[in-house]
């Protein structure tokens, strides 16, 4: 432009740069368009009217197209930046949500493992402790009773070890969807009842529910709830009379474990309450509910109402249905 | 975009270099406009602008350094400089 003698070109360079920067700065497009048109008009009037080319401005008419181009390119770049920024925010939000989901899954898995270990270890150790206490009191007076208690300790420790091995086997089978671990049935409940009787509980047992036809998660929950309830009877109600009832029908399985509180004192006085919380979590996890509390006439009652068929969220592979030790 | 190009764009010298290029273009272009080597179609400047007047263009061009912090103010300053310059140069040219 300078070589051709046009005396108005160079001054527009900085205006074009400034207008581009104005558009990139994220101003609303009406503001950019208004300022761009106003500035162009001012410059055009300053150089056009009364200038060497008359009112129409001559070569400086190019200025309008150049200003529009500068504003449009700046607007495009600004929109592109905003889009990239929103995409970045969306990606970060997705990553945070995913990290939170993984964290919740890890927490749920940890709680599930803790629940399984608690139920298995607490049950076995309670049985062993009670039998060991009985054996120590019978030494020298009832050799046959001592032998029975030692046999019960052997049986309880053997069962506990087997369940622990089963849990460890399941934990190692991280990539296998089908687990070769037996699911609980009526025989498993019967074995729990026998172990409680051997520990001195006068126990009545009734089971007419078909656990093998129930959902795996429900069968496991029934087993663990009965196991934990009987463990609590042994630990906190020595010499108690208790009743276990597992009934099925209309798509539900009802579990009731009641005791009269016993009369021989409690071999264990300490407790964290995690067993009751674990039972309630198990019931909730498969869409059921659990109530536990003292009975009006003394003793304790545990009542669980569980769905026989799998609940919608029971399909989660992380549910306790995959873990069992009996 | 190649890595070398991205590094170059992130360099702290890019910003001052860009402003210097614009200032140089404005200054060189306006001087060349004010002192043309050739005249066409009878367009002649009756006299050359006073050299200090070039600062009226260079100052708003240098203000582009702050275009990100004050985009509207910098834009208005450049418009004022360009309008003033055009009006001033126009007064030196004869009627075509």
Helix, strand and coil percent figures for chain A, each rounded to 5:
60, 10, 30
d(CA A247, CA A206): 8
d(CA A149, CA A207): 27
Q: Which residues of chain B lie closer than 8 angstroms to A19, CB-CB?
A: 75
Q: Is B89 near chain A, with CB under 8 Å?
A: yes
Phi/psi at A53 (5° precision): -105, 10
d(CA B14, CA B19): 9
pLDDT one-digit tens code per residue, A136-188: 888 888 888 888 888 888 888 888 888 788 777 777 766 555 444 556 777 88
Banded model confidence at residue A253, pLDDT cuts 50, 70, 90: very high
A111-125 burial, b if ≥16 CB within 10 A, otherwise e? ebeebbebbbebbbb
Please check whether residue A182 is in contact with residue A324, taking contact to mean a CB–CB distance below 8 angstroms: yes
For residue A299, give every residue at least 6 positions away whose Cβ sits within 8 Å of its Cβ, in sequence order, or none: A237, A240, A258, A259, A260, A261, A262
Q: Mind telling me how many Å the CA of A90 is from chain B's nearest CA?
A: 23
Least CB–CB distance from B75: residue in A4, A18, A50: A18
Q: Which residue of B has its CA nearest to A44?
A: B83
Helix (H) and strand (E) counts in chain A = 7, 5
User: In B, residues 33-72, which contact A (CB 8 Å cutoff)?
Assistant: 33-34, 36-40, 43, 45, 57, 60-61, 64, 67-68, 71-72
Please check whether residue A213 is in contact with residue A251, taking contact to mean a CB–CB distance below 8 angstroms: no
Its pTM stands at 0.53
d(CA A313, CA A307): 12
Q: Mind telling me how many Å the CA of A43 is from chain B's nearest CA?
A: 4
Entry field: residues in chain B: 96
Least CB–CB distance from B83: residue in A10, A43, A52: A43
Q: Which residues of chain A lie closer than 8 angstroms to B38, CB-CB?
A: 3-5
pLDDT one-digit tens code per residue, A283-326: 888 889 999 988 887 888 999 999 987 655 444 433 443 333 33
Q: Which residues of chain A lie closer than 8 angstroms to B95, CB-CB?
A: 52
d(CA A309, CA A307): 5
Entry field: residues in chain A: 326
- Residue A199 DSSP code: T
Q: Which pLDDT score is estimated for A52?
A: 62
Instruction: State the burial class of residue B25 (Cβ atoms within 10 Å of its Cβ: 0-12, 13-18, 19+).
Output: middle
Least CB–CB distance from A7: residue in B33, B37, B61: B33
A48 pLDDT exceeds 90?
A: no
Helix (H) and strand (E) counts in chain B = 4, 0
Question: Cβ of A1 and B33 within 8 Å?
Answer: yes
Helix axes B71-92, A11-24, angle to 10 degrees: 160
d(CA B30, CA B33): 5
Range with the poorest average pLDDT among A203-217, A240-254, B11-25, B34-48: B34-48
Arithmetic mean of pLDDT over chain A: 81
Mean pLDDT of the region A228-253 = 87
Ramachandran region, residue A170 (left: φ > 0; alpha: ψ -120 to 50; beta: rest): alpha
Q: Is B16 near chain A, with CB under 8 Å?
A: no
Least CB–CB distance from B95: residue in A5, A8, A52: A52
Which of A139, A132, A156 lies closest to A267 in space, CA to CA?
A132
β-pairing verdict for A241-249 and A202-207: parallel
Q: Which residues of chain B lie closer than 8 angstroms to A11, CB-CB?
A: 26, 30, 57, 81-82, 85-86
pLDDT one-digit tens code per residue, B11-67: 788 888 888 998 898 888 888 777 766 665 555 555 666 777 788 888 988 999 999
Which uninterrupted H or E stretch holds A74? helix A62-138
């Amino acid at each position: 432009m300078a070589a051709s003698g046009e005396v108005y070109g160079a001054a527009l360079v900085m205006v074009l740069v400034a207008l581009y920067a104005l558009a990139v700065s994220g101003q609303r497009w009406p503001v950019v368009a208004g300022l761009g048109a106003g500035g162009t008009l001012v410059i055009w009037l300053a150089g056009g009217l009364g200038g060497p080319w008359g009112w129409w401005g001559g070569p400086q008419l190019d200025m309008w197209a150049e200003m529009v181009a500068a504003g449009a390119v700046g607007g495009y770049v600004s929109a592109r930046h905003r889009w990239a920024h929103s995409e970045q925010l969306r990606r970060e939000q997705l990553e945070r949500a995913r990290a939170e989901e993984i964290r919740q899954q890890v927490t749920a898995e940890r709680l599930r493992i803790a629940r399984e270990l608690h139920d298995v270890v607490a049950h076995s150790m309670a049985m062993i402790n009670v039998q060991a206490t009985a054996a120590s009191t019978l030494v020298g007076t009832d050799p046959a009773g001592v032998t029975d208690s030692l046999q019960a300790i052997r049986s309880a420790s053997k069962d506990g070890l087997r369940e622990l091995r089963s849990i460890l086997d399941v934990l190692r089978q991280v990539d296998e969807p089908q687990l070769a671990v037996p699911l609980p049935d009526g025989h498993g409940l019967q074995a729990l009842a026998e172990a409680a009787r051997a520990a001195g509980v006068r126990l009545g047992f009734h089971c007419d529910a078909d656990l093998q036809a129930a959902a795996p998660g429900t069968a496991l929950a029934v087993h663990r709830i009965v196991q934990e309830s009987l463990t609590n009877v042994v630990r906190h109600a020595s010499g108690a009379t208790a009743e276990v009832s597992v009934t099925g029908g209309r798509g539900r399985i009802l579990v009731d474990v009641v005791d009269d509180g016993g009369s021989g004192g409690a071999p264990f006085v300490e407790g964290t309450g995690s067993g009751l919380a674990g039972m309630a979590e198990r019931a909730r996890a498969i869409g059921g509910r659990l109530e536990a509390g003292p009975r009006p006439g003394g003793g304790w009652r545990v009542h669980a109402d569980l769905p026989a068929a799998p609940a919608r969220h029971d399909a989660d592979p992380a549910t306790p249905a995959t873990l069992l030790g009996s | 975009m190649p890595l070398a190009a991205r590094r170059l764009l992130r360099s702290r010298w890019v910003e001052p270099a860009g402003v210097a290029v614009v200032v140089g273009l404005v200054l060189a272009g306006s001087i060349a406009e004010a002192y043309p080597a050739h005249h066409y179609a009878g367009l002649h400047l009756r006299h050359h602008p006073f050299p200090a007047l070039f600062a009226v263009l260079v100052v708003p061009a240098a203000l582009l350094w702050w275009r990100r912090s004050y985009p509207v103010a910098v834009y208005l300053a450049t418009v004022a400089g360009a309008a003033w310059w055009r009006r001033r140069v126009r007064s030196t040219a004869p009627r075509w």
